[in-house]
Amino acid sequence: MLDTNGLLGSQALAEFIGQGTGQNPGSGTLVLDFSFAAVGDLGVIHAYYPLPGSNNATAAGWNRVTYTWTASNAYLSVYMWKVLDAADVASGVTVTGLAPVQEQVGWAAYRGPTTAAVVSTGADYASATVSAPAFDPHDLHMGAVSILHSRTDQANPTPPAGSTRRAVFTVTSYGTAALADFSDPDAYAGGALVWTGLTGAFDHANVVIELRES
């Protein structure tokens, strides 16, 4: 599923171009459609498998960071980013090493930033919220993305204050992934980034990726 439009806010530095969502078709390999983007946009990928300790999702040539949730179970999420080239836009990006069919994959593109970094992480168990600590925006800041992964189906999670929620997608009975973004540093400088409105007696994770100029 693809969705294309919108800016990161009234004082946008990075422009949200579009997004896609999917899950492992059973082969362990998924081709992500970035045809909504342009060469030079920054692609962001996140992948989540709702069982402990098995997530080898990778894409050749992409920066890759993993986060093992520490709230209850050792669930593992993968986050990747890269400046898109002609092949990425024309032919898609191949992600390999996906876990069984419940693994969820989301992807988005932003215009303006050329690199990124994970700047804050948080996890919680059986709570209605999941918080990631505040961070100081980098001198080359152009925006930020907060990604929610939850072991529980979440119909309508509320994103951190000041952000715009994009994709929310679920694999029934296995969990939810959602992405929200914002560019105004005043929206989160000095305060935690909190997803609310969560349900279920399972784990949630919140990982914040800052979008930057090189």
pLDDT tens over the chain, length 214 residues: 444 444 444 444 899 999 999 988 878 899 999 999 999 999 999 998 877 767 789 999 999 999 988 656 778 899 999 999 999 999 999 999 988 777 889 999 999 999 999 999 999 988 999 999 999 889 899 999 999 999 888 888 999 999 999 988 887 777 899 999 987 777 777 789 999 999 877 889 999 999 999 8
Its sign, for the CA torsion 92, 82, 186, 21, is: positive
26 DSSP 8-state letter: S
Q: Report pTM.
A: 0.91
Is residue 46 a contact partner of residue 85, using CB atoms and an 8 Å limit? Answer: no
Widest CA span of the chain, in angstroms? 44
Give the other-Cβ count within 10 Å of 90's Cβ.
10
Q: What whole-number distance in Å separates Cα of residue 104 and Cα of residue 98?
A: 9
Strand partners, 124: 204
Where along the chain do its domains lie? 2-212
